Amino acid sequence: MRNQVPEPTLRRLPGYLFFLEKVREDGVLNVSAPTIGKALKCDPTQVVKDLSVTGIKGKPRVGYNTYELCHALEEYLGFNRLNEAFLVGAGNLGSALMAYQEHQTLGIKIIAAFDVNKDKIGQHIGGTHVLEYNKLFHLSNRLDVKIAILTTPNNVAQDVAEDLVNCGVKAIWNFTHTNLVLPEDIIVQNTSMSSFAAVLLSRLNDSEN
Amino acid sequence: MRNQVPEPTLRRLPGYLFFLEKVREDGVLNVSAPTIGKALKCDPTQVVKDLSVTGIKGKPRVGYNTYELCHALEEYLGFNRLNEAFLVGAGNLGSALMAYQEHQTLGIKIIAAFDVNKDKIGQHIGGTHVLEYNKLFHLSNRLDVKIAILTTPNNVAQDVAEDLVNCGVKAIWNFTHTNLVLPEDIIVQNTSMSSFAAVLLSRLNDSEN
């Protein structure tokens, strides 16, 4: 059933979670769909539909139990589990992600980063060490890491992705422009930053012409 | 005609550009669609179709002129223009983007960042200063900045976005979870990092169950 949940819904779920965590911190016990909707600029009907994937239902005239819903969302998103990941390519974007993930807003914990650049190896960024790329093979034997973040140059992305799959990685968050060709059971999430910039700039350009 | 170009095509264009820039640096004068396709793991038919949006056509048995195609892609994407942007919210992600953009791989140049946090104000990240938020209004009067990157907390995103629009911003790259409600002519590109993480984790979770 879960895999029928549409991607737009999945994308909205962390927003609900972050809002509810904030509300919970403020000691609010119950929160209604219209309140959530108002805060996140989302239609209340959509809120109810989105949140129903967690199995939690709001009560009429009371709303959702904040604690229960937070817990259900964390559980559903897997944010309460230690989602350990390798990162390959500690360049500009890789380093930025390492610095960012320290604050655990990604739901993913980078436990080791790898690079071939000697200037990068040995660095300590966002609580994580950058190791020599070759150590990936040894380390993956010891650790059961299923997630990898790929921030290498485009031209080595396919080779590195294949190495990662051989090391037991099941899901790759691909920040490169390379269209990875991997076994069907490997999950690939493409997130090229400059692609988003390209869409934005192109639309802006269109609107000005 | 341009606004009929599908978003997946737009998203692939920077990948072509970065590959071609590399090929051009290597002094290669002509490159074929199958070569491009092989490098980016993309079907050559798709390559030809995607690149046709630039108006450049490859020659039979020769391929594309590397210089001509690079120039056309830069022009089409607007990457050869100085796409100046404001950034609001110099927190973890904001700082990471500022550090990243220094290397100009986004096609966007952050010329000033704004924050309300006194610890952030005055910092110098990736070649850009973090200024007091209130200075946005004064500065936007002097500078004609059309693009803004929004990396504030979710709960202030809507207010800040409205301020930005009042300051003449026409396109907002929204990294928050807030579903911005803005005039129709304002371009919004939503790119919440934890949303991508959520999709990845959810798919991984499904595949393991």
Q: Of chain A residues 144-173, which have a CB less than 8 A from chain B? A: 146-147, 154-155, 158, 170-171, 173
Within a 13 Å sphere around the CA of A107, how many CA atoms are in the beta-carbon half? 28
pLDDT band at B105 (very low <50, low <70, confident <90, very high): low
Task: Give residue for tokens 């436990």.
Answer: A111
Q: Can you give the pTM of this predicted structure? A: 0.79
Q: For residue B127, give the nearest of B147, B109, B139 by alpha carbon.
A: B109
DSSP B155: H
Whether the CB of A80 is below 8 Å from some CB of chain B: the reply is no
Question: What's residue A104's pLDDT?
Answer: 61
Q: How far is CA B46 from CA B3, B12, B33, B52, in A?
A: 19, 10, 9, 10
User: Taking all residues of chain A, what is their mean pLDDT, rounded to a whole number?
Assistant: 89
CB contact under 8 A, B202 and A108: no
Question: What's residue A1's pLDDT?
Answer: 42
Burial of A4 (0-12, 13-18, 19+ CB in 10 A): exposed
Question: What's residue B104's pLDDT?
Answer: 61
CB contact under 8 A, A2 and B209: yes
Question: What's residue A103's pLDDT?
Answer: 55
A58-62, B8-12, B76-80, B86-90: range with lowest mean pLDDT: B76-80
pLDDT band at B111 (very low <50, low <70, confident <90, very high): very high
Smallest Cβ–Cβ distance between A189 and the set B14, B192, B199 belongs to: B199
Distance between CA atoms of residues A175 and A85, nearest Å: 14
CB contact under 8 A, B201 and A3: no
Q: For the domain A84-196, what is the CATH code?
A: 3.40.50.720
**Smallest CA–CA separation between A115 and chain B, in Å?**
17
Query: Is pLDDT at B185 greater than 50 in this prediction?
Result: yes
Whether the CB of B175 is below 8 Å from some CB of chain A: the reply is no
B1-9 mean pLDDT: 71
**Which is more confident, A1 or A178?**
A178
Query: Is pLDDT at A27 greater than 80 in this prediction?
Result: yes
In sequence order, which residues have a C-beta less than 8 Å from that of residue B34 and are 6 or more positions away?
Answer: B44, B47
Q: For residue A15, give the nearest of B87, B148, B90, B157 by alpha carbon.
A: B157
Whether the CB of B37 is below 8 Å from some CB of chain A: the reply is no
Whether the CB of A97 is below 8 Å from some CB of chain B: the reply is yes
CA A103 to chain centre: 13
**Smallest CA–CA separation between A130 and chain B, in Å?**
17
Smallest Cβ–Cβ distance between A192 and the set B11, B102, B177 belongs to: B11
Query: Is pLDDT at B16 greater than 50 in this prediction?
Result: yes
Distance between CA atoms of residues B185 and B176, nearest Å: 20
Domain A2-77 identical in fold to domain A84-196:
no
Question: What's residue A3's pLDDT?
Answer: 54
Tens digits of residue pLDDT in A134-160: 999 999 988 989 999 999 988 899 999
Question: What's residue A41's pLDDT?
Answer: 83
Q: Where are the domains of chain A?
A: 2-77, 84-196
Smallest CA–CA distance from B157 into chain A, residue: A40
pLDDT band at B169 (very low <50, low <70, confident <90, very high): very high
According to CATH, the topology of domain B2-77 is Arc Repressor Mutant, subunit A (1.10.10)
A161-179 mean pLDDT: 94
Distance between CA atoms of residues B140 and B170, nearest Å: 12
Chain B CB contacts of A177 below 8 Å: 12, 14-15, 18-19, 40
Question: What's residue B1's pLDDT?
Answer: 42
Q: For residue B146, give the nearest of A207, A92, A179 by alpha carbon.
A: A207
